[in-house]
Structure 1
Amino acid sequence: MSAPEAPLIVLRGITKTYGQGPAAFQALQGVDLEIAAGEFVAVMGPSGSGKSTAMNLLGCLDTPSEGEYLFRGIHVERLDRNQRALLRRTCLGFVFQGFNLLARTSAQENVELPLLYRGEPAEQRHASARAALAKVGLDGWEDHTPAELSGGQQQRVAIARAIVTSPLVLLADEPTGNLDSKRSHEIMELLAALNREQGITVIMVTHEPDMAAYARRIVHFVDGQVAQDKLNGHAKESAPCC
């Protein structure tokens, strides 16, 4: 009988303190969390609960004050700045509330950016970007700029840019925050389908219960700690991806 597979992500006793002395603020207070490969996890909590700080740590955009962060068994808290940047480029994809697209650049060129930073040849970049756009339902929209796309389409471009490098983990920070209800559910169905069909681990920060309902696990932060961690046995079903 084979041993159970180790979690993809492990946080042990993670604290994060900003400032010093009387002005010090402890954003995270001894967080323990494990996430397996292929999970879809929604992270929720009120403003100031620590959920965004936890997301920044998971995305290697910040480092913990104390504790251990293991990614595939690697101690991320021991890595230097360049090593963390390499981990971000090779294993992580990011989706933000504000899309963060270059305004005068086509959808395809926006999606190619991570590959450009990697130094991949132009022909390979073009093919990978077109494939990523097709995965998010934007086949035929490659030459359109953000101004020519709806909010939902812009977020799809942002998701294509996040998955073009074939990341192990997709980190989504309020991905539907700038969208109306219909577009929000379209984006959530897309994320759920990518998780199910592509096997991408999705970790999403949201304050909206309707969006968290798509996740198969919901983690609630309160006052810098994990207050509740539960499976969602009624996760919304999504349509086949694109």
Structure 2
Amino acid sequence: MTTDPFIAMRRITKVYGEGATAFQALKGVDLNVAQGDFIAVMGPSGSGKSTAMNILGCLDVPTTGEFIFKGVHIETLDRDERALLRRRYLGFVFQGFNLLARTTALENVELPLLYRGDPKEQRREAAMSALEKVGLDRWWDHTPAQLSGGQQQRVAIARAIVTNPDVLLADEPTGNLDSARSVEIMQLLASLNRDAGITVLMVTHEPDMAEFAKTIVHFKDGLVDRIEAAAGGVGAH
């Protein structure tokens, strides 16, 4: 039985460019993520939080250091192996929704299953179930233009969870929403964390949104500056 944490970053560095123009985005990050945690990642622009999230999402690799996910050293995997891991274990939610404009909510949610080669009936059933989880099953035949911003983000979340991921990575998921819709989306993420057991990693610059998490990780100058429990503890309720 492994004693490794669910996700671990060990002395992670990330350097872009070479020689005089080289920029060190991460300077030796250490971070453990427990299964079932809901972590808000915060920090000023250029602090390294987005770079760290790209590595956590297996979209990028560290320059040096160890990145361990479920006992596997991700830094040793090639591009195809990382893509396979993303498809199997990770879901992504972005600030800009990234929905296909001319397709229905249901078809948008089906996409990851289509890429995976799942049969049509199975895709449809899983997509409807995901839409139901985000409260949009009655809007399955609506295109993004027929949905509000908050509803579009719910479709994006349904698309991210349709593969039953272990981890949901959300990059400024409320960045394009008004405050009421933002609270709705954060309550949805908190319920997915609490009820479905999905580990959530979220970048946000909004302190009130971060309070929905269980843990807040602050980045500064390419390092983890401090880690604290979310004072509001909203995510726990």
TM range (shorter): over 0.9
> Which of 101, 108, 131 in structure 2 is aligned with 1:133?
131
5+ residue gaps in structure 1? none
Shift of 1:17: 0.2
| Residue of structure 2 in register with 1:26 after alignment | 24
**TM-score, normalising length from structure 1?**
0.96
Distance 1:231 1:237 in 2: 11
| Residue of structure 2 in register with 1:17 after alignment | 15
| Residue of structure 2 in register with 1:204 after alignment | 202
| Residue of structure 2 in register with 1:193 after alignment | 191
Give yes or no for contact 2:213–2:235 (8 Å, CA) kept in 1.
Answer: no
**Amino acid in structure 1 at the alignment position of 2:23:** F
Distance 2:2 2:66 in 1: 21
Q: Pairwise mapping of residues 172-191 of structure 1 onto structure 2 (< 5 A)?
A: 172-191=170-189
The residue matched to 2:138 in structure 1 has which SS? coil
The residue matched to 1:127 in structure 2 has which SS? helix
5+ residue gaps in structure 2? none
Provide, for residues 2-32 of structure 1, a one-character-per-residue CA deviation record: whole Å limited to 9, x for no partner. Answer: x896421000000000011111000000000
Distance 1:141 1:117 in 2: 23
Task: Give the percent of matched residue pairs that are identical in Structure 1 and Structure 2.
Answer: 69
> Which of 228, 231, 237 in structure 2 is aligned with 1:230?
228
Distance 1:6 1:29 in 2: 22
Give yes or no for contact 1:6–1:36 (8 Å, CA) kept in 2.
Answer: no
RMSD: 1.3
Instruction: Give every structure 1 segment of 4 or more consecutive aligned residues whose post-TM-superposition deviation is greater than 2 Å.
Output: 3-6
Give yes or no for contact 1:190–1:238 (8 Å, CA) kept in 2.
Answer: no
Distance 1:238 1:229 in 2: 17
1:93 corresponds to 2:118: no
Provide, for residues 136-180 of structure 1, a one-character-per-residue CA deviation record: whole Å limited to 9, x for no partner. Answer: 010211000000000000000000000000000000000000000
Q: Pairwise mapping of residues 48-63 of structure 1 onto structure 2 (< 5 A)?
A: 48-63=46-61
The residue matched to 2:10 in structure 1 has which SS? strand
**Amino acid in structure 2 at the alignment position of 1:105:** T
Distance 1:66 1:35 in 2: 19
